[in-house]
Amino acid sequence: MDEAAWQPAKLKSCVRSPEGGRSNHKGKMASKFYYQQLPNKLDIIAESNENSHSIAIGIFVATGARDESPEINGCSHFLEHMIFKGSDKYTWEDVNRIFDELGARYNAFTTQEMTAYYANVLPEFTERAIEHLSHLLRPALRQEDFDTEKKVILEEIAMYLDDPTHRVYEKVMEEHFGDHPLSMSVLGTAESITELKREQMAEYFARRYGPGNMVISVAGRFDFQQIVALVEKYCGNWPTVDARRDQPAPVYKRRSRSVDDPKLNRQYTMGLLPGPAAQDERRYAARILSDVVGDANGSRLYWALVDNAMAEEADFGFYPHDRCGSYYFSLVNDPARTDQVMDILERELQRVGDDITEAEITQARNKIASQLVLQSEVPIGRMRSIASQWIYTKKYRPLEEEMQRLISVSVDEIKSLARDFPLKPMTVVTLGPKRG
């Protein structure tokens, strides 16, 4: 399109200055939030930071392994590879060359529930970065690239099958969620990838990778009206998609599975338990509870299992999903001690809701708050944070409010959470040498 003839749509912007967000620098606002939706329903969200010297831009799509059928399992992750193979304008060599010319820090990821493509550049490269990301999300999906990359994906699956932690994770997700789509593997299986056709991938892409199911997230130093103009210029003609995620709630029951592998000399155990969803305000209390139980340092499991050499690793965490959530634990230990280790773990889980202390909560929220601040000090961290919020809730919460919500978590709230989500029923999968 002739650039001189092109004009951006005249839409209203929602500009929000977070309360309490003032910096100590001349009393000015440290950040502002902006939102605009283009006529094709493409959401643009942005958080400015006057102290930043770069800009991070990402395109986040609300699709992942849980949105695939068994026949195309692994398609979202495969598409992540294919998108870097280029568009009708650019080859795979061009994709990497252009990012390198921009001095960009760039990457992508795929999960059960979203895929993302992003770059962090200097502000003077804003237009080139948006133009380049727009081409990534309109991939050519050439048959020769598809055939070549399929071999790479199959090698990746085989590599991960040699990783005991990955193997037990895949199995515990399968057991815990059963027939629910969250049981689907992000990588897919060797069988599903082998049988996948290029036409099936193209149909899946056309159905889910478009406005109405994606958000462009920006953080750092920028002019928002310029961002809107550039996004409309390069993405304003993308077709809108209707990609709703209408899935039933998971059905939970206690499950256990033991997988023997004589090549291993350690026992790997993972478990899943129901927890709050990504849209549930109780997720803040759940994050603190999981830190108290199983953070890598100073947690209850650390002192009960790792510090006294009962286990080499003992982790407990919280993972909020779309409209449901999970607590998870991971253990690595001498096979002879597995029963004892599991007894200690279950004892700690059952008592934490009754005897958690204010001192433990304070320590946990201080650690989590520090992590949030450190992540948010760079535009790429904040860009990812606000995009994830938007994908799940269609809302923006400034860092100050996130911090305040964490700080407000009390002993009573943790105890109420433990009554609502009593850390059961538990799904447990173990992988290791056969025990007598």
Architecture field, domain 14-235: 2-Layer Sandwich (3.30)
pLDDT band at 436 (very low <50, low <70, confident <90, very high): low
Rounded CA gap, 85 and 80, in Å?
9
pLDDT band at 11 (very low <50, low <70, confident <90, very high): very low
pLDDT band at 435 (very low <50, low <70, confident <90, very high): confident
pLDDT band at 5 (very low <50, low <70, confident <90, very high): very low
Residues 321 and 277 sit within 8 Å (Cβ to Cβ): yes
Q: What residues contact residue 356 under an 8 Å CB cut-off, 6+ apart?
A: 289, 292, 411, 414, 415
Q: Name the pTM for this structure.
A: 0.91
- Please give the average per-residue pLDDT across 341-370, as a whole number: 96
pLDDT band at 8 (very low <50, low <70, confident <90, very high): very low
Alpha carbons within 13 angstroms on the beta-carbon side of residue 213 total: 24
Architecture field, domain 255-432: 2-Layer Sandwich (3.30)
Q: Which of 121, 77, 123, 117 is nearest to 99 (CA)?
A: 121
Q: Is residue 188 left, alpha or beta, with left meaning phi > 0 and alpha meaning psi from -120 to 50? A: left
Residue 207, judged by CB atoms within 10 A of its CB (0-12, 13-18, 19+), counts as: middle
Beta strands in 261-404 (DSSP E): 267-275, 313-321, 324-333
Does 145 score more than 50 pLDDT?
Answer: yes
Q: Is 366 helix (H, G, I), strand (E, B) or coil?
A: helix
Does 20 score more than 90 pLDDT?
Answer: no
pLDDT at residue 228 in the model: 98
> When comparing pLDDT for 350 and 5, which is higher?
350
State the residue for tokens 């000399």: 265
Domain segments of the chain as ranges:
14-235, 255-432
- Please give the average per-residue pLDDT across 385-411, as a whole number: 96
Helices (H), 162-248: 164-177, 190-195, 198-208, 224-235
User: What percent of the chain has pLDDT above 90?
Assistant: 92
Q: Which of 81, 67, 79, 69 is nearest to 321 (CA)?
A: 67
Residues 412 and 356 sit within 8 Å (Cβ to Cβ): no
pLDDT at residue 253 in the model: 94
Domains 14-235 and 255-432 share a fold: yes
For 176-208, write each residue's pLDDT tens digit. 999 999 999 999 999 999 999 999 999 999 999
Rounded CA gap, 369 and 371, in Å?
5
For 413-428, write each residue's pLDDT tens digit. 999 999 999 999 999 9
Does 325 score more than 90 pLDDT?
Answer: yes
For 43-55, write each residue's pLDDT tens digit. 999 999 989 999 9
- Pair of tokens at residue 113: 């529930």
Rounded CA gap, 111 and 185, in Å?
9
For 263-297, write each residue's pLDDT tens digit. 999 999 999 999 999 999 999 999 999 999 999 88
320, β-bridge pairs: 325
326, β-bridge pairs: 274, 319
Rounded mean pLDDT of the chain? 92
- Pair of tokens at residue 252: 């939970």
- Please give the average per-residue pLDDT across 76-99, as a whole number: 96
Please report, as a single letter, which amino acid is at residue 411: V
